[in-house]
Structure 1
Amino acid sequence: MLQDRARAWAPVVLQAVPRLRRVDAAPSSDRSGGQPALAAAAAVVGALTGLTAATFRLLLEHAGEARIDLVRWAHGSPVLGFALVVLVCAAGTSAASWLVHRVEPHAEGSGIPRVEAVVEGRKAPGRFRILPVKYVGGLLSIGSGLALGREGPSVQMGGTIAAVVGRALRRSGPDVRLLVAAGAAAGLATAFNAPIAGGVFVLEELLKRFDPRTTLATLVASAAGFASAHVLLHSSTSDFHVPQLAEPSLAQAPLVLAVGVACGLLGVAYNWSVIRSLRIADTSRWPVVVRAALIGAAVGAVGWFGPGLVGGGDDLTQQALVGHGTVLTVTGLLVLRFVLGVVSYAACTPGGLFAPMLVLGSNLGLLVELLGQTVAPHQTPEPAALALIGMAAFFTATVRAPVTGLVLATEMTGSTTLLPPMLGACAVAMLTAAMLRSTPIYDQLTQRAVNATRVNAAEGHPD
């Protein structure tokens, strides 16, 4: 009887074998050209992303300078000048909101969560028009003074360019997603002049794997983006400058651990506040354009009194890294930038979270240093040391990507002296956030993006 059954099943098995072989062979056929072809495609993606992100960065710098010049000029007529500044900021923010919500909704916010969802296969690569809407919308919103960063738009623009290139080269679906991640690396590398951090962030946070194929594509794109951006930016130096730092000692460990705990606590509060503000915005009955205009007007009012307090905040991070400020001023700046960052992201216009995180982390580290000087001056390192450690620790607490935090802080300052205490502070910050059961910010934002896609599909609006 068993022999009869075997004879009956034999033709079925023999017919299935070729199919099994074809399925097994599919990945190799998808990888047409092998690793050299993939590396070449990644290089193209990186070069195009580098040029796009570099022009975006240059125009943002000009927009920030123009906003500051406007405020200075408007102070010649206090009443009308104040109204003009508020009106200009409100108009720019509302225009960015209109572009997002009327032309391309997928250009909203940072862009990193959407790229992460695409890389994970939970969302399809978006349309090309994400790129121009993200570009122009980012210039309008960040240029108007919203406390947002350039890295989010740069990452999503890189992912969009990668999707277009991957389709043009007829790469497979998995390869297109891999190129999207590579484009994201190039965008981050250009935004922060940090090619290694760009690659590491994508491998640690987006892809969450370090196999040879993904590593090759990511690092090639990051290097190509950095190289092509150099043609326009003409700068290979670090974004931030720190004084010569002394070697760390064990006597400073208590304050380093204090920075880690403080960053962990503030990071948890920041993540909760950002997500809470988005939920309020999602359920608000106010039209999105009106809401964005009001937020822009409020930011413009703050910028009237302190032009350097609004925008991405690179100058504020630089001031912290050289130790400028008192306990009172740094505390006030922390509170103001915390609120500005949360409210600005709730406007749902293009803009990232990295740069605001660096402002908060560096100033929190500086605040711990200033307090330490009053309690234990001989065990307290110089201000730049704890400010730099705070940058990496706060990023780790919010994003939960410690390697990226370490590499990013190191590349952006060009300082490697404090890597051991930075590592300890990052570990403590990560442990603090984990013990408080805080979900990493991009995981929450990615899930929000996926949920929005499901809602749109249920309402008959395809992704």
Structure 2
Amino acid sequence: MAALLQLRAKWAWARLIALAVAMAVLVGSACAFFLWNLEAVTRIRFDHPWLLWLLPVAGMAVAWLYHRHGGESDGGNNLILDRIHDPGGGVPRRMAPLVLLGTLVTHLFGGSAGREGTAVQMGGSIASAVARPFLLAKGHVRMLLMAGVAAGFGAVFGTPLAGAVFAVEVAVVGRPGLRALPLCLLASYVGDLVCRAWGAGHTHYHIDGVAGPLAAGYLDALLLGKIALLALACGLVAWSFATLCHGLSARLRRWVPQPVWRPAIGGLAVIVLFLIAGRADFLGLGVWSPDAGAVTLTSLFSSPEIHPSAWVWKLAFTVVTISAGFKGGEVTPLFFIGAALGNALAGALGAPPELFAGLGMVAVFAGASQTPLACTLMGIELFGPGHALPLVLVCGLAFLASGHSGIYRSQRFAMRKPLWRRPPGHP
């Protein structure tokens, strides 16, 4: 009997591994398709800037589609986290195509949003669809959902190690689901390999102006102090971003009960912000621009020019876009906000702009997502192991400074941060 039980357990694990690989191939392919189309619609928007004036109408169309046919899909990333906590309800299959279409519409018409939400939701939706016919145990469904998140995150950013750790770290802050880590690592690397095999490209970031500490000891007490100040600022900005998004979203839901009208109001607000700012740098993803003089995420790593207010503008554009219900996610705009904040503080503190842009980029995300380990590993994957020490410092301090308000409402806390009130539900 014992031998039979061991055989059944091994068969269950072998089946779970096979399902994770198959799922990751599908997720990696979906992410490649998404990245190709995201690049295409971004180019179309740059070629036809008048599309911004249709953003309110486009947002209404997507909101109507979700309201009429989306069901639970409108829960987005929070629904994925809810299903990781309790896999019983499953994730709708329709979530993947809906969020793909919704995100492409957001970027085609100039909304300031990201792409991680799309990848995570496609990963969770595909993982749930793969699991459904096999009647897996709840624990295995939970691990497969986490592997789907890992595959999507790792594939869309080209950071498979960070993707796997993000998947096990994000659901419960302070209590990572380490049992699922091997499966998440497998799925994340397979998803990334498949996405690259399809020829989908990723943005490359380089901290060229500063040698890494493994090559030359550039870190001294003064620079470490400046990095600590940057980290605290990034944590407070991350807290502000999450608080503003949740607050504005709640007010829009209260003031505008009909969900179809919220993106119309948000789209008009984005247009007003564009007219006030007088430039298109803060629309869309913000990674690149055909305008050589534009402030973009990549330009913040290559230009010695300081842009003291760019992070404020990008934060305002993104808070309005996300709170109004546009699809896409927050991570790439958070990268922009963090890099621009690092650039601004580098000018004020007399620090290397390239280094502070890179550190700020991952630190704001660490605070907003409450995933400091994943963001540290992402920084190492993006910038190289030579910057590991400042990355650990900046992500850890930003996490501590960001309080208990992250961008994901369904996140749970198994720890209490010093100097902050206890999070909801914390004993």
How far apart in 2 are the matches of 1:115 and 1:174?
A: 15
1:141 to 106, 123, 126: 106
- The residue that corresponds to 1:422 in the other structure is 391
Decide whether the 8 Å contact of 1:181 with 1:202 is kept in 2: yes
Is 2:293 aligned against 1:317? no
- The residue that corresponds to 1:433 in the other structure is 402
How far apart in 2 are the matches of 1:27 and 1:333?
A: 59
2:340 to 363, 367, 371: 363
SS at match of 1:126: coil
Is 2:131 aligned against 1:166? yes
1:262 to 233, 239, 253: 233
- The residue that corresponds to 1:252 in the other structure is 223
- The residue that corresponds to 2:357 in the other structure is 387
- Which stretches in structure 2 are left out of the alignment for 5+ residues? 289-295, 413-427
How far apart in 1 are the matches of 2:399 and 2:92?
A: 36
How far apart in 2 are the matches of 1:324 and 1:145?
A: 27
Decide whether the 8 Å contact of 1:192 with 1:239 is kept in 2: no
1:127 to 92, 98, 104: 92
SS at match of 2:92: coil
Decide whether the 8 Å contact of 2:315 with 2:337 is kept in 1: yes
- The residue that corresponds to 1:296 in the other structure is 267
How far apart in 2 are the matches of 1:242 and 1:102?
A: 47
Decide whether the 8 Å contact of 1:86 with 1:297 is kept in 2: no
Summarize deviations over 1:281-314 as a string: whole Å, max 9, x none. 2212363223212322443465674333211222
Deviation at 1:26, TM superposition (A): 9.2
Over alpha carbons, which structure has the higher Rg? 1
Deviation at 1:445, TM superposition (A): 4.6
Cα 1:227–1:346 shift into 2, 3 Å:
same
How far apart in 2 are the matches of 1:445 and 1:209?
A: 15
SS at match of 2:386: coil
Cα 1:427–1:132 shift into 2, 3 Å:
closer
How far apart in 1 are the matches of 2:355 and 2:301?
A: 8
SS at match of 1:313: coil
Deviation at 1:142, TM superposition (A): 2.8
How far apart in 2 are the matches of 1:344 and 1:446?
A: 22
SS at match of 1:325: coil
- The residue that corresponds to 1:104 in the other structure is 70
Is 2:144 aligned against 1:175? no
The count of corresponding residues between Structure 1 and Structure 2 is: 394
Structure (1/2) with the larger helix percentage: 1
- The within-5 A match list for 1:60-459 is 60-71=38-49, 84-108=50-74, 111-121=76-86, 124-206=89-171, 208-212=175-179, 214-235=180-201, 239-243=204-208, 245-246=210-211, 247=213, 248-250=218-220, 251-285=222-256, 287-300=258-271, 305-315=278-288, 316-326=296-306, 330-373=307-350, 380=351, 382-411=352-381, 413-434=382-403, 438-442=404-408, 444-446=409-411
How far apart in 2 are the matches of 1:349 and 1:242?
A: 32
How far apart in 2 are the matches of 1:294 and 1:233?
A: 38
Decide whether the 8 Å contact of 1:94 with 1:296 is kept in 2: no
